[in-house]
Amino acid sequence: MKTSIIGVLLLLQLMIGGQALATKVKIGYFELPPHMYQGENSNAQGASVNYFNQVFKQMDYEVEWVGPLPYMRLLKMIEKGQIDALPLMQESEKEPLFQFPDAPYYSPQPVLFVKKSNPLQQVQSIDDIRGLTIGFIAGVEPSPFIKTHEKELKMEYMAQQDWLELNLMKLKRNRIDAVYGLNQVSTQGEI
């Protein structure tokens, strides 16, 4: 099994009948500041958006950003050929039809949020978090550590685009014990 990494999906689909590649690429995005988010005038903005605009400009492609949409909807859209690419997609065995680069352009650090009153300072083993109710996003594969010990944890999944904000509210109201995020940088804006 390949190690889960966050990579960029640069899937440029050939048009039916072996025709040449389109000169326009549709890239789906979800809210993940500072990487991808809806900015002024409803335009896609962020570091990943800027990066891919430059990459495709050098390849003489016009980019159409589609979103922001929930991650699971974007996966279905790429499967149906409605979009061509999805940055920051997580490589896993669940997506065997997608093509990933050999090396990621970004490797995030996962983070576990607990209330300040919680004595947990760091996670060194499953014993540190066994039995906790942990909020996470639906449809996204967690880190290998969490995935290996998922049966020992009570994971609560949310499919909403604002899953992080909602889970942080649940944490504040003592409805869950922790919130798990795959991306330390993006989650900082929510605290």
pLDDT tens-digit readout, 69-127: 887 888 889 889 999 988 866 555 455 566 666 766 666 678 888 998 999 888 889 99
| Residue-level pLDDT at 169 | 93
Amino acid in position 102: D
Residue spans per domain, the chain: 6-90, 111-190
Q: Which residues contact 5 (CB under 8 A, 6 or more apart)?
A: 90, 91, 100, 104, 107
| Residue-level pLDDT at 105 | 60
- Do 6-90 and 111-190 fold alike per CATH? yes
Overall pTM > 0.75: no
> Residue 147 belongs to what H/E stretch?
helix 144-148
| Residue-level pLDDT at 3 | 31
Amino acid in position 55: V
Cα distance between residue 127 and residue 130, in whole Å: 5
Note whether 181 and 134 are within 8 A (CB).
no
Architecture of the domain spanning 111-190? 3-Layer(aba) Sandwich (3.40)
Superfamily of domain 6-90: Periplasmic binding protein-like II (3.40.190.10)
